[in-house]
């Protein structure tokens, strides 16, 4: 962005003299001749917060009513270049010289909140924020500026969202509530095994919802075993029926799909079950499952296309392997299963499959739960191993071969060591790949309108208001670079984006201290930094780590293991022992973590935890009685109920 010289007289307009006026928008002249200053007049003295909100409202009104608005400074050479460009195009525009109004500095401050740009010139064309001088000339050279300037550019929609997942639907519904004409395009390209699904995205159809329900099914199996110790007597053989479970889960998902469609209809959001692809600026092609093409235009776009599972790129992977796209609606029990990968998806799926009594092996290339706290990750793996899940460490598959067809059939997997020349082979009924996910950004025409992506990852870089490098294109959800890939994050960022674009909000999505839970057989919940990241950021000597093992009361009578569940907080010693990392391995870890995440948002410290009276007997109360630090080296094993 261009920086204006603070005091240089610079090249200004001939005959301009300082004309000090207040920075409150009132009755600004619209479509004034090129170079003519839009005037701001004061409504009189006002309190700062009310005055600021009124100023913001009036600025937005000026932008809303004007074809072109240039927020400028008369001495700025970059501003002069932009004004000359519009003049050469014969375009009428409103120019507001911030150095010639009394509250120019305050106008610029509020403007920077609206646009995330602190410098002049700051240009809007037909309500779209183009940016500064360089961005305006780039838009001119690419043809985008001319497109924006089209008279009566009667776009079909105010907003088109490509992707009907959590983030896209959240943004669409909020924009519609704010009175905008909105379309959602959503199309699921079938997996290599032919699986597709309805509206709602990954979370609802092939992610969080069916995963948590299958996790619950596995927990019920454990509860059946525990129940005998609590006096429940039953003689009949208990077995799990895969088909009954998947049918019930898919029925629930179908009801959610219908609910989303109904919600869009009630809010007058157009839903089109077609594949969206940009063909030129402000224009997309929508292709339905029959191959029929329709074209739509919009003033602004949100990309919310999400991600799909990655394949290995080896012989037989797409032909014979499944992914999480296929597992939750698989019409038959998968039988003996090899799970390839060490992601949370891999461990969650391996966990509930083993909970159903299946023979499960996890093949791990390097470490478990990359990006998570590694002490916690190893404890997750250790618990799973003690409960029947086998781990093949430091191996990767190189070939999958079909031995028998069937439901399930038989597959032979050849794998090689990552540390030497050793090869192994095994026979399984099902091979589930969970080695990561790829962003769905490479085949939607982004290159045709100049939206930049990370060529390696496919992720889209955005600023702190989810705006891409193309001013009228935004992105939310898992496709964002360096942002958490979590459903609630996508929902929050989509909703706030719509409120900023079409409402009176400046609130941005806060991506710091986002809680999450891995729904393995023993759940792992966390918020804030891992121990490794905390040491990297704050240095080990500046941290105090409190931890303990604990024994849930429910496990005692059932005869389940003591000293398996674990709690840990990481504190910054030089910031009042503020909690910067929260970690729990135990039953209902998600429920426990959610409450403490709110406390961390409020600046939770170790002293505040100590001052909190726990609820007894619960797992969460362990955080109110933490005493032992890692640095002390003291024993943390528990002998009984605290």
Of the two residues 45 and 122, the one the predictor is more confident about is 122
pLDDT tens profile 203-239: 999 999 999 999 999 999 999 999 999 999 998 889 9
- One domain for residues 427 and 461: no
Contact 101, 38 (CB under 8 A): no
pLDDT tens profile 422-480: 999 999 999 999 999 999 999 999 999 999 999 999 999 999 999 999 999 999 999 99
Domain endpoint, select from 470, 503, 536 = 503
C-alpha distance from residue 470 to each of 91, 139, 183, 495 (Å): 22, 9, 20, 20
Residue 30: pLDDT over 70: no
**What's the CATH number where 473 sits?**
3.50.50.60
What local confidence, expressed as pLDDT, does residue 55 receive?
A: 87
- One domain for residues 497 and 413: no
The Cα 355–Cα 226 span in angstroms is: 14
Domain endpoint, select from 503, 535, 552 = 503
What local confidence, expressed as pLDDT, does residue 412 receive?
A: 98
What local confidence, expressed as pLDDT, does residue 126 receive?
A: 86
Please state, for a pLDDT cut of 70, what percent of the chain lies above it: 92
Is 35 inside a domain boundary? no
Per-residue pLDDT band for 153 (boundaries 50, 70, 90) equals low
Per-residue pLDDT band for 39 (boundaries 50, 70, 90) equals very low
- One domain for residues 134 and 221: no
Of the two residues 308 and 150, the one the predictor is more confident about is 308
- Residue 29 gets the label, from left (phi > 0), alpha (psi -120 to 50) or beta, of beta
What local confidence, expressed as pLDDT, does residue 29 receive?
A: 35
Residues tagged active-site: 616
586-620 burial, b at 16+ Cβ within 10 Å, e below that, comes to: bbbbbebbeebbebbeeebbbebbeeeeeeeeebb
pLDDT tens profile 121-140: 999 998 889 999 999 999 88
- One domain for residues 123 and 253: no
Residue 587: pLDDT over 90: yes
Residue 15: pLDDT over 90: no
Per-residue tokens: 473: 């294109």
Domain tally, the chain: 4
Residue 61: pLDDT over 90: no
Domain endpoint, select from 393, 417, 436 = 436
Torsions phi, psi for 21 (to 5 deg): -130, 155
Model confidence pTM above 0.75: yes
Torsions phi, psi for 17 (to 5 deg): -130, 150
Q: Residue range 355-360: average pLDDT?
A: 97
Residue 57: pLDDT over 90: no
Q: Residue range 503-512: average pLDDT?
A: 92
- One domain for residues 407 and 295: no
Is 473 inside a domain boundary? yes
Beta bridge partners of 235: none
- One domain for residues 134 and 213: no
What local confidence, expressed as pLDDT, does residue 144 receive?
A: 86
Residue 33: pLDDT over 60: no
**What's the CATH number where 106 sits?**
3.40.30.10
Question: What domain range is 346 assigned to?
Answer: 311-436
Is 508 inside a domain boundary? no
pLDDT tens profile 397-437: 999 999 999 999 999 999 999 999 999 999 999 999 999 99
- One domain for residues 553 and 618: yes
Reduced to 3 states, what is the DSSP secondary structure of residue 558?
Answer: helix
Indicate the length of the chain as a whole number: 642
What local confidence, expressed as pLDDT, does residue 23 receive?
A: 34
Torsions phi, psi for 278 (to 5 deg): -65, 140
- One domain for residues 102 and 136: yes
Contact 82, 131 (CB under 8 A): no
pLDDT tens profile 238-282: 999 999 999 999 999 999 999 999 999 999 999 999 999 999 999
Contact 563, 637 (CB under 8 A): yes
Is 18 inside a domain boundary? no
Reduced to 3 states, what is the DSSP secondary structure of residue 276?
Answer: strand
Residue 639: pLDDT over 50: yes
Of the two residues 67 and 162, the one the predictor is more confident about is 162
What local confidence, expressed as pLDDT, does residue 317 receive?
A: 97
Average pLDDT score, the chain? 91
Is 207 inside a domain boundary? yes
- One domain for residues 164 and 98: no
C-alpha distance from residue 545 to each of 254, 291, 380, 425 (Å): 45, 58, 19, 43
Is 613 inside a domain boundary? yes
In sign, the C-alpha dihedral spanning 606, 608, 614, 615 is negative
E strand or H helix at 260: helix 242-266
Long-range contacts of 8-16 (CB under 8 A, 24+ apart): 8/75, 9/75, 10/74, 10/75, 10/76, 10/77, 10/80, 11/75, 11/77, 11/80, 12/74, 12/75, 12/80, 13/74, 16/74, 16/97, 16/100
Residue 31: pLDDT over 80: no
Degrees to nearest 5, angle at CA 573 with 569 and 574: 140
Is 13 inside a domain boundary? no
- One domain for residues 557 and 605: yes
- One domain for residues 56 and 92: yes
What local confidence, expressed as pLDDT, does residue 399 receive?
A: 98
pLDDT tens profile 78-106: 999 999 999 888 888 999 999 998 889 99
- What number of other Cβ atoms are within 10 A of residue 437's Cβ? 19
Is 364 inside a domain boundary? yes
Give residues with Cβ within 8 angstroms of 254, minimum separation 6. Answer: 198
**What's the CATH number where 578 sits?**
3.30.390.30
> Residue 444: exposed, middle, or buried by beta-carbon count in 10 A (0-12, 13-18, 19+)?
buried
- One domain for residues 432 and 448: no
Reduced to 3 states, what is the DSSP secondary structure of residue 267?
Answer: coil
């Amino acid at each position: 962005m261009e920086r204006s010289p603070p005091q240089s007289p610079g090249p200004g307009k001939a005959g301009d003299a300082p004309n000090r006026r207040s920075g409150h928008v009132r009755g600004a002249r619209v479509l004034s001749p090129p170079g003519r200053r839009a005037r701001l007049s004061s409504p009189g003295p006002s309190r700062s917060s009310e005055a600021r909100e009124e100023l913001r409202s009036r600025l937005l009104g000026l932008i809303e009513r004007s074809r072109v608005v240039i927020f400028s400074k008369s001495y700025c050479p970059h501003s002069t270049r932009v004004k000359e460009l519009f003049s050469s195009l014969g375009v009428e525009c409103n120019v507001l010289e911030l150095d010639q109004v009394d509250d120019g500095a305050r106008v610029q401050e509020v403007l920077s909140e609206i646009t995330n740009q602190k410098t002049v010139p700051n240009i809007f064309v037909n309500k779209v924020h183009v940016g500064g001088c360089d961005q305006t000339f780039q838009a001119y050279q690419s043809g985008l500026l001319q497109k924006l300037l089209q008279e009566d550019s009667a776009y079909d929609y105010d907003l088109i969202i490509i992707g009907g997942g959590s983030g896209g639907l959240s943004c669409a519904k909020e924009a519609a509530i704010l009175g905008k004409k909105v379309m959602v395009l959503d199309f699921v390209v079938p997996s290599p095994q032919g699986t597709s699904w309805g509206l709602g995205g990954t979370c609802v159809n092939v992610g969080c919802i069916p995963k948590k329900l299958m996790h619950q099914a596995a927990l019920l199996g454990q509860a059946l075993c525990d129940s005998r110790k609590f006096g429940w007597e039953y003689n009949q053989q208990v077995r799990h029926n895969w088909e009954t479970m998947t049918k019930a889960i898919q029925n629930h998902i179908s009801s959610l799909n219908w609910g989303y469609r109904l919600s869009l209809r009630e809010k007058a959001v157009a839903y089109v079950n077609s594949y969206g692809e940009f063909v030129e600026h402000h224009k997309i092609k929508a292709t339905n499952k029959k191959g029929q093409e329709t074209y739509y235009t919009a003033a602004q776009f949100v990309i919310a296309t999400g991600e799909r599972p990655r394949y290995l790129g080896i012989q037989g992977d797409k032909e014979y392997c499944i992914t999480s796209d296929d597992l939750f609606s698989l019409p038959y029990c998968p039988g003996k299963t090899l799970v390839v990968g060490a992601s949370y998806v891999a461990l969650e799926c391996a966990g509930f499959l083993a909970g159903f009594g299946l023979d499960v092996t996890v093949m791990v290339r390097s470490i478990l739960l990359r990006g998570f706290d590694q002490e916690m990750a190893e404890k997750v793996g250790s618990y799973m191993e003690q409960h029947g899940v086998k781990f093949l460490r430091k191996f990767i598959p190189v070939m999958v071969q079909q031995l028998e067809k069937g439901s399930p059939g038989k597959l032979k997997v050849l794998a090689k060591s990552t540390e030497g020349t050793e090869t192994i082979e095994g026979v399984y009924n099902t091979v589930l790949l969970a080695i990561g996910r790829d962003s769905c950004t490479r085949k939607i025409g982004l290159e045709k309108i100049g939206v930049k992506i990370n060529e390696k990852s496919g992720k889209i870089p955005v600023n702190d208001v989810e705006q891409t490098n193309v001013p009228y294109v935004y992105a939310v959800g898992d496709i964002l670079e360096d942002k958490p890939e979590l459903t609630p994050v996508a929902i929050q960022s989509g909703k706030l984006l719509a409120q900023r674009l079409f409402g009176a909000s400046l609130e941005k999505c806060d991506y710091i201290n986002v809680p999450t839970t891995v729904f393995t057989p023993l759940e792992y919940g966390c918020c804030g930094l891992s121990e490794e990241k905390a040491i990297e950021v704050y240095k080990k000597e500046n941290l105090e780590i409190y931890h303990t093992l604990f024994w849930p009361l429910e496990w005692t009578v059932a005869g389940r293991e003591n000293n398996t569940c674990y709690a840990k907080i990481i504190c910054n010693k030089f910031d009042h022992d503020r909690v910067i990392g929260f970690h729990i391995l135990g039953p209902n870890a998600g429920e426990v973590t959610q409450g403490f995440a709110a406390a961390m948002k409020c600046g939770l410290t170790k002293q505040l935890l100590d001052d909190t009276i726990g609820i007894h007997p619960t797992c969460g109360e362990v955080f109110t009685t933490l005493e032992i630090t890692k640095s002390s080296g003291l024993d943390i094993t528990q002998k009984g109920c605290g």
